[in-house]
Amino acid sequence: MIGPGAVGGVLASALQRSGAEVTVVARPATAERIARDGLTVIDPEGEHHTTPAVAHVPPKGSAIIVATKTYALGDVLPGIAAAKPSEVLFLQNGVAHPPLVHSALSSVERVICGAIQIVANRADDGTIRQPFGLRIVNVPQEAAEWELTKALIASGVTTNVGGTESEVLWRKFRFLSALALATSWRDAPIGPAMDAKPGVIEAMVAEIAQIAEAEGLPTNPDDVVAQLRALDPQAPSSMWNDVKAGGPTEFDALGLHLIELAHRHGIAVPTVTRAVDAIGARLG
């Protein structure tokens, strides 16, 4: 497991508790803490403590799940390639990264990008809290018989198999990009962000839906708006949290790339552009 943060930590814990042999690969400070304290995950089922093996580089020939943020891929891809893994499943946000990972790992036979739906946060002491039991991994059909897919299913993580890599990523991206841009633009949780100026976020979603259609995934914008409305009104997005914290963000993957795709397809996206420009100005 490369990237044992909130998302990777939840998966690593579930996999090890199901009997899988798990090694987490992390930066020195995180690796030292996990080696000393293990992983603690608190979810609706209780508190779970596991002690996975810890390494700074992936074990040779291993099956790898990559759960880092998108902006960290450049740092981890060389180590993955050097490990000559049997399988690699990437769980990053956005739709811009597949060409990068497939190019960097062209010598690896089994490489795929999937998506994860999860709400989890890591506290300063390393404890991971998952307030809801939601943990859903979506993988393309071609990974149906992979060992990683089988291991995730055995661990109790809801694992959906089907569609192409692009379809899997876009099903999440059309929703997540809207959530990330709305909350970061309005500097508010999703409920207040949508209610601040009625119709504005809906217009942004309609523009994102046009891009998704052009990329091959038929999308009803009303369905995406309904997904956003179904969230807890106080739900943030991880990108908004990162913007507020002043650290690295996934703005390139979740914002700027939308503009690039719109230009590529000749689609006018005035509302998306307003949101991206405002967030970009805040980030400097």
Number of domains in the chain: 2
Question: Do 67 and 148 share a domain, yes or no?
Answer: yes
Is 33 part of any domain?
A: yes
Q: Is the dihedral of CA 85, 91, 93, 94 positive or negative?
A: positive
| Contact between 137 and 161 (Cβ < 8 Å) | no
Range of the domain at 151: 6-163
Look at residue 177 in the predicted model and tell me its pLDDT: 98
Question: Do 190 and 138 share a domain, yes or no?
Answer: no
The residue from 122, 148, 163 where one domain ends is 163
Question: Do 179 and 149 share a domain, yes or no?
Answer: no
Is 263 part of any domain?
A: yes
The residue from 163, 178, 209 where one domain ends is 163
CATH number for position 179: 1.10.1040.10
Q: H helices within 114-269, ranges in order?
A: 147-154, 165-186, 190-195, 200-214, 221-230, 238-245, 251, 257-265
Question: Do 142 and 73 share a domain, yes or no?
Answer: yes
Is 1 part of any domain?
A: no
Question: Do 15 and 114 share a domain, yes or no?
Answer: yes
Q: 170: which 2 tokens?
A: 């876009």
The residue from 140, 163, 186 where one domain ends is 163
Is 86 part of any domain?
A: yes
Number of Cβ within 10 Å of residue 127's Cβ equals 15
Look at residue 131 in the predicted model and tell me its pLDDT: 87
Q: H helices within 105-199, ranges in order?
A: 147-154, 165-186, 190-195
Question: Do 77 and 112 share a domain, yes or no?
Answer: yes
254-268: per-residue pLDDT in tens? 999 999 999 999 999
Is 177 part of any domain?
A: yes
Question: Do 156 and 172 share a domain, yes or no?
Answer: no
Question: Do 102 and 35 share a domain, yes or no?
Answer: yes
Question: Do 120 and 219 share a domain, yes or no?
Answer: no
Look at residue 134 in the predicted model and tell me its pLDDT: 86
Question: Do 22 and 137 share a domain, yes or no?
Answer: yes
Question: Do 16 and 143 share a domain, yes or no?
Answer: yes
Question: Do 126 and 260 share a domain, yes or no?
Answer: no
Per-residue pLDDT tens listing for the chain (284 residues): 999 999 999 999 999 999 999 999 999 999 999 999 999 999 999 999 999 999 999 999 999 999 999 999 999 999 999 999 999 999 999 999 999 999 999 999 999 999 999 989 999 999 999 988 889 999 999 999 999 999 999 999 999 999 999 999 999 999 999 999 999 999 999 999 999 999 999 999 999 999 999 999 999 999 999 999 999 999 999 999 999 999 999 999 999 999 999 999 999 999 999 999 999 999 99
CATH number for position 65: 3.40.50.720
Is 284 part of any domain?
A: no
The pTM of this model reads 0.95
Is 79 part of any domain?
A: yes
Is 91 part of any domain?
A: yes
- Residues 6 or more apart in contact with residue 160 via CB below 8 angstroms: 136, 137, 138, 139
